[in-house]
A and B are shown apart, each in its own frame.
Chain A
Amino acid sequence: MTVSIKVRYFASLKELLGRAEDTLEFDQGLSVADVWAKATQLRAMPENTLAALNMEYVALDCVVADDDEVAFFPPVTGGQYD
């Protein structure tokens, strides 16, 4: 079965890849790490990259399903208020 997902990139990752999102279609059973590899043509994932699946933090081995939204971003830094 083919699944369709949305992939979103934020902050420095968005600049690195030159786009904010992708829509991907592939056979089911792929992990979040596989999604990165497919979306970026096997580009090395920057150190400390965080991943979210449907707006919850997940590990890279988490498997995605149809209609999921996967996001990749650098560590969060809040505002400049300390």
Chain B
Amino acid sequence: MIKIVPSEFDPFAEVQAYQKKQQALSGKYGATNIFVGTMRDFNEGELVKGMTLEHYPGMTEKQLDAVVQEAERQWALLDALVIHRVGDVFPDDVLVLVVVWSVHRGDAFDASRFIMEALKSKVPFWKKEILADDQSRWVAKNTEGYL
């Protein structure tokens, strides 16, 4: 399942609630990989006090869905949940949750990594940072995920 949310969410409560609802997982899953992405208060050497996450309603969901479907083609997954925040966010806010359920751990680890990396290069989200002096700037590039 994919969700784009405009307000704060508790990633761990979301995992618990979703897993409880998915009866088909019961007795079948041996691995659950949970990735939580949180906003930092620094980027490229400067303090960042807030950020606006813009997206393209419709296309964002469509591309995110395609990323998850690609992961399901490449790995043996039982289920996946991706929640992404949009709007005004602040340091320590949760920005993204990626959860993957599989029979064995390898599929869950690898598919989760794939979803995150693909999300950052293909799914239309843009971030505008507000710096300590209230100047703002569009972020032009991602941090390399495999450093």
Q: How far is the CA of A68 from the CA of B62 in the complex (A)?
A: 16
A77 contacts across to B, CB distance below 8 A: 120, 125-127, 139-142
**Contact status A82-B127, CB under 8 Å:** no
**Contact status A78-B123, CB under 8 Å:** yes
Q: How far is the CA of A14 from the CA of B90 in the complex (A)?
A: 23
Task: Label chain A's interface by main secondary structure.
Answer: loop
**Contact status A79-B37, CB under 8 Å:** yes
**Contact status B59-A78, CB under 8 Å:** no
Comparing B13-21, B23-31, B50-58, B73-81, the segment that makes contact with chain A is B50-58
**Contact status A76-B140, CB under 8 Å:** no
With most chain B CB atoms within 10 A of its CB, the pick from A10, A11, A79 is A79
B89 contacts across to A, CB distance below 8 A: 79
With both chains docked as a complex, state the minimum distance between the C-beta of A82 and any C-beta of chain B, in angstroms: 4
B40 contacts across to A, CB distance below 8 A: 80-81
With both chains docked as a complex, state the minimum distance between the C-beta of A38 and any C-beta of chain B, in angstroms: 21
Q: How far is the CA of A81 from the CA of B48 in the complex (A)?
A: 13
Give the number of residues in A that approach B within 8 Å (Cβ atoms): 19
**Contact status B59-A71, CB under 8 Å:** yes
With both chains docked as a complex, state the minimum distance between the C-beta of B11 and any C-beta of chain A, in angstroms: 12
**Contact status B126-A80, CB under 8 Å:** no
**Contact status A82-B142, CB under 8 Å:** yes
B127 contacts across to A, CB distance below 8 A: 77-80
Q: How far is the CA of A78 from the CA of B125 in the complex (A)?
A: 5
**A78-B123, A79-B127 are known contacts. Are A10 and B56 too (CB-CB below 8 A)?**
yes
With both chains docked as a complex, state the minimum distance between the C-beta of A30 and any C-beta of chain B, in angstroms: 21
**Contact status A80-B48, CB under 8 Å:** yes
Is residue B49 within 8 Å, beta carbon to beta carbon, of the partner chain? no
**Contact status A74-B138, CB under 8 Å:** yes
Q: How far is the CA of A55 from the CA of B143 in the complex (A)?
A: 25
Is residue B38 within 8 Å, beta carbon to beta carbon, of the partner chain? yes
Q: Which chain B residue lies CB-closest to A73?
A: B124
Chain A to chain B: the 7 pairs with minimum beta-carbon distance, closest first: A81-B37, A79-B95, A11-B126, A78-B120, A55-B59, A82-B143, A12-B138
